[in-house]
Chains A and B, each alone.
Chain A
Amino acid sequence: AQTVTQSQPEMSVQEAETVTLSCTYDTSESDYYLFWYKQPPSRQMILVIRQEAYKQQNATENRFSVNFQKAAKSFSLKISDSQLGDAAMYFCAYRSAPSGGYQKVTFGTGTKLQVIP
């Protein structure tokens, strides 16, 4: 079974600084997608960034970028120039669709990010 591990329950970062949230996963499949979601206190789930496993190039969305290491099964999120609005829970998610089988979705346990003014 696929597992997603976020080993940092809580992180903090100074405003305008850079922080990296870690995520590792375990899978035997070769084709899958990885996502980072943000959940602010409002509880709304917001997609931050996604990465296709077959793409070697790391995904980037403005201040958010990932370091995708397929062989190491690692998918970390880097937030640059942290802003107060970045404070939230961040979830790493894995999604795959084995040939002929059901789509599978697995979330990590989340990392709570605090941004210090």
Chain B
Amino acid sequence: DSGVTQTPKHLITATGQRVTLRCSPRSGDLSVYWYQQSLDQGLQFLIQYYNGEERAKGNILERFSAQQFPDLHSELNLSSLELGDSALYFCASSVGGGMSYEQYFGPGTRLTVT
């Protein structure tokens, strides 16, 4: 158990809908990362937050957004969902925001868009 929690574990929704994925980092970690793992695109880095501020942005679509709250939990919002958004979404956390810090991954949220 990495100490990172993600809810829900599974989510099934229809095209065009909007969903919110939630992540709670390990105690003491200030940085949260979001990743998408799909059959088509493999593992992709989406976005990073550090202590409430956006720190880095990867291949995140405009339909997707994220935020980190004062209690350091983070939410990833996916809107106007398409079939291709079906994937496993990971959250990871680290103590610091730099590249040298080890990232601890959560168990992921499996999103299925029908």
Is B a genuine binding partner of A?
yes
Partner of A103, one of B2, B43, B56: B56
| B99 contacts A95, C-beta separation under 8 Å | yes
A residues adjacent to B (C-beta < 8 A):
32-33, 42-47, 50, 52, 91, 93, 95-97, 102-110
- Chain B: residues with Cβ within 8 Å of the partner, total of 24
| A109 contacts B42, C-beta separation under 8 Å | yes
| B99 contacts A32, C-beta separation under 8 Å | yes
A-B contact count (CB 8 A): 51
Could you say which residues of chain A place their CB within 8 Å of the CB of B90? 45
B residues adjacent to A (C-beta < 8 A):
2, 33, 42-45, 48, 55-58, 88, 90, 92, 97-100, 102-105, 107-108
| A47 contacts B103, C-beta separation under 8 Å | yes
| A107 contacts B98, C-beta separation under 8 Å | no
Q: Bound complex: CA of A108 vs CA of B41, how far in Å?
A: 11
Q: Which 3 residue pairs are nearest across A and B when measured between Cβ atoms? A: A45-B105, A105-B45, A107-B43
